[in-house]
């Protein structure tokens, strides 16, 4: 038995993924790692010796098998120096078999545990300071100066075009694209540093290459004006953008308060829906109610509204449409009124029970995972992708805030907007 590993002494964590052409179990993977690295790096870096002396922790394996193949993750906590850790991490990639099966190990990253802890401390301290600033006593400036500096990072440059970028962009899990340098400065005041600016109305090759090559989540945070609409359209043509956030209508990102910034980022929606709203000349940042409020109708349990079904053309460009009437239950109408302007989605079963609710951005993923999604009511744009998923899941009715240009002759599903039902 080896010496017990003190997890508090770990400096780094090695994370790697493994793919195996066959069905194996955790002990098989552990045996392969120890066996195929034995003697490779000498006695000082032998895994068994390192574990015996308490310089590495227990090798953690998560493995799952599907379709005759296995995939998993290897996690090793380490208390070695950087050089030894890097060598040990590289040695994992030499493992090419698990039992009789061929295997491939790919290093994903080496985490600096202490660095991560320091970042969490700084981040938490900044958060505490933000909520405490108004009540800080006059004599505490010397104590808080170091933390204050932590949120005043220096704007860096990115790519061949030397675009302004926040100091946290490279190491972040997501990237926020903004319009200009002033937007980055404002967001940095609130601790948001994973930013890069387009700098002008033309989207540069640096931005296009960054979004297409990176595996990170890409969010475009744009002004709530005509200029923001134009940049959104160009971004969607030349770059990969996952989600869109917008400043309130008529405002620019550089002038937003902390509360407005947080709200805008929390209400981000999928990029294709944002583009559909812009193309339909509806401001993403503030969709306004165009119909007068309805009279109470507590005595009615449903109403008849025009629905788009079968061979009807659902294009919004003025072409004739054949309409049919369907019964929309008051339960769904009330739910549409309740979630309007909230960017939420609610899914019902055939008994009118809510089986799921989520943000609009997660609707497609949630819908894919449900068994019987009968009715969907959501404060977003009905796109062709969403229609295809709903048809595949045998959903009978989609009720959305608006409709994008869909294929002609949509069949097998009914489509209704909030305007159609007076929501």
Question: In the 3-class helix/strand/coil scheme, how is 121-157 assigned residue by residue?
Answer: HHHHHHHHHHHHHHHCCHHHHHHHHHHHHHCCCCCEE
* pLDDT surpasses 90 at 172: no
Q: Using N-to-C axis directions, what is the helix angle for 226-238 and 271-279, rounded to 10°?
A: 130
* pLDDT surpasses 80 at 258: yes
Query: What pLDDT is attached to residue 381?
Result: 78
In DSSP terms, which residues pair with 111 in a beta bridge? Answer: 13
In DSSP terms, which residues pair with 77 in a beta bridge? Answer: 13
Q: How do residues 73-118 score in pLDDT, each as one tens digit?
A: 999 999 888 888 999 999 999 999 998 899 999 999 888 877 777 7
Query: Dihedral through CA 60, CA 91, CA 105, CA 112, nearest 10?
Result: 60
Query: What pLDDT is attached to residue 139?
Result: 52
Query: What pLDDT is attached to residue 122?
Result: 81
What b-and-e string marks burial along 337-358, b requiring 16 or more CB atoms within 10 Å of the CB? eebeeebbbbbbeeeeeebbbb
* pLDDT surpasses 50 at 316: no
Q: How do residues 20-78 score in pLDDT, each as one tens digit?
A: 999 998 999 999 999 998 888 888 888 888 888 888 888 999 999 988 899 999 999 99
Tell me what the mean pLDDT of segment 188-200 comes to.
88
CA nearest neighbour of 269 among 325, 334, 220: 220
**What domains appear along the chain, each with residue ranges and CATH number?**
8-112 (3.30.70.60), 157-279 (3.40.1360.10), 302-417 (3.40.140.20)
Query: What pLDDT is attached to residue 291?
Result: 40
Among residues of the chain, what percentage have pLDDT more than 90? 25
Please tell me the total number of residues recorded for the chain in this structure: 423
Please answer whether residues 52 and 2 qualify as being in contact, where contact means their C-beta atoms are separated by less than 8 angstroms: yes
DSSP 220: E
Tell me what the mean pLDDT of segment 388-394 comes to.
89
Greater model confidence, 148 or 408: 408
Query: What pLDDT is attached to residue 8?
Result: 58
- pTM assigned to the model: 0.40
Beta pairing, strands 156-158 & 163-165: antiparallel
Q: pLDDT class for 326, splitting at 50, 70, 90?
A: low
In angstroms, rounded to a whole number, what is the distance separating the alpha carbons of residues 56 and 77? 6
Query: What pLDDT is attached to residue 201?
Result: 65
Q: How do residues 339-354 score in pLDDT, each as one tens digit?
A: 887 778 999 999 999 9
Query: What pLDDT is attached to residue 300?
Result: 41
In angstroms, rounded to a whole number, what is the distance separating the alpha carbons of residues 108 and 89? 10
């Amino acid at each position: 038995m080896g010496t017990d590993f003190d997890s508090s002494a770990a400096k780094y964590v090695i994370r790697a993924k493994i793919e195996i052409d066959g069905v194996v179990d955790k002990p098989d993977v552990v045996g392969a790692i120890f066996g195929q690295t034995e003697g490779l790096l000498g006695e000082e870096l032998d895994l068994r010796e390192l574990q015996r002396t308490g310089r590495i922790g227990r090798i953690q394996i998560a493995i799952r098998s599907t379709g005759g193949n296995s995939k998993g993750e290897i996690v090793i906590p380490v208390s070695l120096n950087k050089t030894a850790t890097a060598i040990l991490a590289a040695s994992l990639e030499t493992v090419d078999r698990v039992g009789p099966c061929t295997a491939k190990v790919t290093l994903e990253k080496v985490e600096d545990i202490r660095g991560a802890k320091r970042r969490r401390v700084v981040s938490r301290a900044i958060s505490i300071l933000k909520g405490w600033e108004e009540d800080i006593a006059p004599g505490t400036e010397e104590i808080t100066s170091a933390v204050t500096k932590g949120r005043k990072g220096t704007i860096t440059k990115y790519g061949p075009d030397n675009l302004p970028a926040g100091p946290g962009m490279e190491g972040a899990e997501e990237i926020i694209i903004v319009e200009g340098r002033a937007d980055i400065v404002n967001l940095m005041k609130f601790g948001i540093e994973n930013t890069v600016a387009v700098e002008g109305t033309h989207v540069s090759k640096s931005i296009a290459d960054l979004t297409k090559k990176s595996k990170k989540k890409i969010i475009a945070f744009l002004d709530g004006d005509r200029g923001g609409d134009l940049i959104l359209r160009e971004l969607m043509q030349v770059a990969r953008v996952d989600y869109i956030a917008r400043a309130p209508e008529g405002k620019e990102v550089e002038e937003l308060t902390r509360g407005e910034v947080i709200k805008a980022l929390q209400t981000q929606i999928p990029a294709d829906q944002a583009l559909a709203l812009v193309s339909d000349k509806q401001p993403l940042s503030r969709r306004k109610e165009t119909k007068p409020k309805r009279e109470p109708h507590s005595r009615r349990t449903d109403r008849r509204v025009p629905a788009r079904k079968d061979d009807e053309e659902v294009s919004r460009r003025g072409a004739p449409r054949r309409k049919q009437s369907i019964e929309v239950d008051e339960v769904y109408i009330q739910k549409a009124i309740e979630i309007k302007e909230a960017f939420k989605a609610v899914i019902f079963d055939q008994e009118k029970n809510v089986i799921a609710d989520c943000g609009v951005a997660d609707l497609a993923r949630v819908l894919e995972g449900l068994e019987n999604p009968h009715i969907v009511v959501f404060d977003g744009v009905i796109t062709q992708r969403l229609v295809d998923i709903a048809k595949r899941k045998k959903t009978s009715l989609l009720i959305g805030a608006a409709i994008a240009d869909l294929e002609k002759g949509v069949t097998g599903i009914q489509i209704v907007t909030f305007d159609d039902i007076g929501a």
